[in-house]
Amino acid sequence: MLITGLLPLIFLIVGLITEHLGANPAEMIIHETGQWALRLLMLTLGITPLVQITGWSVLTVRYNLRRLLGLYAFFYASLHLLSYLVFEQNFDWQEIINDMLTRPALDIGWLAFILMIPLTITSYPNLTHQLSRRRWQQLHQLIYLISISAIVHLGWLAQAKVDVREPLIYATILLILLLLRYPPIIKRLAHKNMTSSKK
């Protein structure tokens, strides 16, 4: 899984070296790193319902897949932000501030990234133990706000290009994942899975 999570970055580096990132490589890098951050957020949210429905607790107990996916989501979100700062703004902070004042999509993107920081910090075992289980769970509820903010960020940017298909797809996936966390639904699906496995 450690190597798998780096594959998108490796493909981007290879594409950059071989000049296969299109006419605007910088824009492609910014877009793809943001896309992978959002995809990994969706996968992170999908682990809990998957374990509850299938009973594959090994995903969280042995491999701690949710934590790993969350860390990779933050990694690609960091690359996304760094790519924007380097390629679009060349670390010109005055231009960055002006951009934020005129493009609300960037503000919501910054919000999503900032909210990911405490989740990432408290994902490490030594720091996790310093919080009570209840406080840790409350803090990690931020992933819902982060996911919504990231989709709105993408949607706002896509709206300028008159192509909102991608954010609509992510919004649909998020809605499904949220519905799967509704107790009556998850219990029914888990029961069906247990019944079919016994047969």
pLDDT in tens, 74-87: 999 999 999 999 99
Whole-number CA gyration radius for the chain = 19
Q: What are phi and psi of 58, to 5 degrees?
A: -60, -25
User: Rounded distance, CA 161 to CA 31, Å?
Assistant: 13
Q: Helix and strand tally (H, E) in the chain? A: 11, 0
Mean pLDDT of the region 158-187: 85
- Calculate the average pLDDT of the chain: 87
Query: Which of 39-43, 48-52, 180-184, 186-190 holds the top average pLDDT?
Result: 39-43
| pTM for the full predicted model | 0.88
What is the structure's pLDDT at 128?
61
Mean pLDDT of the region 189-197: 62
Residue closest to 117 by CA, chosen among 64, 162, 160, 75: 75
What is the structure's pLDDT at 110?
95
Residue type for 21, please?
A: L
